[in-house]
């Protein structure tokens, strides 16, 4: 294995999707190969190889309004604690700076220890929840749909900038749905090991819970959902109906902290996509 000072960062292409999937599978993340292909085709994805094996990655995905997201920061177990992730994130930051982009990311507790010293500031605390076996599933149940344009508008109100390409890609897949119930809307999409609900946008925690309950009763799980920690009634409603909190994570912004525009959603997209 190469020494720490000798590894080279390379830019990856769509053909590296299977190798990227091996890394995210090792980390027990929920990405599938279609997710990797999207990031590799639309973003800047950097990596490190040990011979022919891909051992580390990081991706920069530009959004609108001069914002971008860093994600897919992965290092195989035998290459950790060698500052590989730090160098990859530094390279993503450099690419963002050259393009005049403000960078965001979602960090696990271990990841936050890497990103904080690089200049990232926490903006939002989140929780990853899982539901294994919902009761009363009725595959025949259908839910009203939400248009991609309307969903993107709700997302912009919550995030403060547009993620249209990402949401259009996820919502347009054969196994995805954008559904609504009253004033609540949600994206439902497939993952490697579980279906993922999110983003979810609603005006009250009751309407958000009603929609989530309808979704999990409409098809088989297991399910993942990422919720804003400050929405205590929403979190309590989920855990009271069988959801369990897997782990905390936090949204971070490079530079000083700023408030997100609009009213915070009851649930947001997962840490690996932002």
Q: What is the DSSP string of 44-87?
A: EEEEEEETTEEEEEEEEEE-STTEEEEEEEEE-GGG-SSSHHHH
271 pLDDT more than 70 = no
- State the pLDDT at residue 141: 62
pLDDT in tens, 109-129: 888 888 999 899 998 899 999
Q: Residue 177 — pLDDT band, cuts 50, 70, 90?
A: very high
Q: What is the pLDDT of residue 52?
A: 93
Q: For 19-58, how does the pLDDT look when each residue is reduced to its tens digit (9 = 90+)?
A: 999 999 999 999 999 999 999 999 999 999 999 999 999 9
Model pTM?
A: 0.88
At 4, is the pLDDT very low, low, confident or very high (cuts 50, 70, 90)?
very low
pLDDT at 255: 85
Q: What is the pLDDT of residues 185-216, one digit of tens each?
A: 999 999 999 999 999 999 999 999 999 999 99
Q: Give the Cα separation of 21 and 40 in Å (integer).
A: 12
Please list, residue by residue across 251-274, b when 16 or more beta carbons sit within 10 angstroms of its beta carbon and e when fewer do: bbbbeeeeebeeeebbbbbbbbbb
Distance CA 114, CA 73 (A): 11
Residue 183 makes CB contacts below 8 A (sequence gap 6+) with 202, 203, 204, 207
């Amino acid at each position: 294995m190469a020494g720490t000072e000798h590894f080279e960062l390379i830019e990856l292409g769509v053909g590296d999707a299977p190798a990227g999937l091996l890394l995210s599978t090792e980390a027990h993340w929920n990405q599938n190969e279609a997710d990797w292909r999207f990031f590799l085709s639309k973003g800047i994805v950097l990596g490190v190889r040990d011979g022919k094996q891909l051992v580390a990655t990081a991706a920069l995905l530009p959004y609108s309004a001069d914002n971008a997201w860093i994600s897919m920061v992965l290092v195989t177990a035998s290459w950790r604690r060698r500052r590989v992730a730090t160098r990859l994130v530094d390279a993503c930051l450099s690419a963002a700076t050259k393009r005049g982009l403000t960078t965001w990311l979602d960090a696990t507790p271990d990841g936050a220890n890497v990103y904080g010293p690089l200049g990232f500031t926490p903006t939002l605390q989140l929780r990853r929840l899982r539901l294994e076996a919902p009761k009363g599933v009725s595959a025949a149940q259908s839910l009203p749909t939400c248009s991609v344009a309307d969903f993107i508008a709700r997302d912009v109100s919550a995030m403060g900038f547009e993620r249209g390409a990402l949401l259009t890609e996820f919502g347009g897949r054969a196994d995805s749905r954008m559904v609504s119930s009253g004033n609540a809307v949600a994206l439902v999409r497939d993952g490697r090991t579980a279906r993922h609900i999110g983003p979810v946008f609603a005006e009250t925690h009751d309407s958000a819970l009603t929609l989530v309950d309808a979704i999990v009763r409409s098809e088989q799980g297991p399910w993942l959902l990422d919720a804003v920690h400050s929405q205590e009634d929403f979190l309590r409603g989920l855990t009271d109906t069988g959801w369990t909190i897997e782990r905390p994570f936090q949204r971070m912004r490079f530079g000083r902290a700023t408030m997100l525009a609009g009213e915070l959603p009851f649930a947001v997209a997962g840490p690996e996509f932002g």
